[in-house]
Amino acid sequence: MTGTADLSRCSLNTATVKHATLAEAVDAAAAAGLGAVGLWRHQVQEHGADKAARIVADAGLRVSSLCRGGFLTAADEAGIAAALDDNKRAIEETAGVGTRELVFVVGGLPALSEPGRGPRPDAGPGDRDVVAARSRVADRLAELAPFAAEHDVRIVLEALHPMFAADRAVISTLGQALDLAAPFAPETVGVVVDTYHVWWDPQLRESIARAGAEGRIAGYQVCDWNLPLAADPLNSRGHVGDGYVDFPTISRWVAEAGYDGDVETEIFNEEIWAADPRDTARTVGERYARHVLPHLEGDGRTPHTGP
């Protein structure tokens, strides 16, 4: 199917081929006929932004986004200062690799010891205050948005599934992300629709329509919700079509909202990481062509009855 399908909007997020070098990931994406790659900061830092940008451009690809900034929920002065400093570097790296889109995972509760683990023994009630943590996210965005605008970079807020609220992101719905973005110009703060995290949301259709009307859809990320969950739920993502996500419906909603940018496949999965990156990139293209592309183009529509 990919022999005739237009894969120019299909992007391989390099997390999907975690163990590949940047050059190997880019070569795999190019060989599969994809149009773009989504990068992670450690790769950019390894090579420097200029060289990373050349590696991508020399393969005839675009950088669809950079992951990731964020982690804005610290309550102490040292933590706040560190978050601001790191995110300003991330904004500079984003501009340096030639994309506008910097994905933000906003951070979990200050009670956290480390991701996926229990709280710190000394954590108190204030460290578990999710409302206060969200308020601090808003405060940090207000401080970072002018810096992002100066660099022509857009902060892209990503809502994560509620099971990650404690350790990774205190925003769990696209609607919450849009509320946080609302005080800022849409070219400075937007949102990404990530199927793994938002497929379950009963307000998803309305939130996607709102995001489109506000001009805030800065990315569409796809992968599937697989069961059983892995020992680390973070690594339970699957190839499009292998799990429970309704890609035709969500893709149609995204298209109807006016989004015409890149579609990144971002998968965290130990078995997929162990596969040959070229095989993985080909599968990414094939699944995009089968399950996503027809519904972005407005044909192949399936009847929809909910939510």
In the chain, the domains with their CATH numbers are: 10-296 (3.20.20.150)
Q: What are phi and psi of 222, to 5 degrees?
A: -125, 140
Quote the tokens at residue 266.
Answer: 């971002």
Per-residue pLDDT, 306: 34
**pLDDT tens digits for the chain (307 residues)?**
456 899 999 999 999 999 999 999 999 999 999 999 999 999 999 999 999 999 999 999 999 999 999 999 999 999 999 999 999 999 999 999 999 999 999 999 999 999 989 999 999 999 999 999 999 999 999 999 999 999 999 999 999 999 999 999 999 999 999 999 999 999 999 999 999 999 999 999 999 999 999 999 999 999 999 999 999 999 999 999 999 999 999 999 999 999 999 999 999 999 999 999 999 999 999 999 999 999 998 543 333 333 3
Quote the tokens at residue 87.
Answer: 């995110």
Per-residue pLDDT, 3: 61
Quote the tokens at residue 9.
Answer: 């909007």
Per-residue pLDDT, 248: 98
Per-residue pLDDT, 298: 57
Sequence-separated (6 or more) residues with CB below 8 Å from residue 151: 91, 92, 94, 95
Q: How far apart are the first and last CA of the chain?
A: 30
- Report the amino acid identity of residue 301: R
Per-residue pLDDT, 300: 37
| 73 close to 137: Cβ distance less than 8 angstroms | yes
User: Distance between CA atoms of 99 and 264, rounded to whole angstroms?
Assistant: 14
Q: Rounded to two decimals, what is the model's pTM? A: 0.94
Closest-CA residue to 140 (of 53, 68, 80): 80
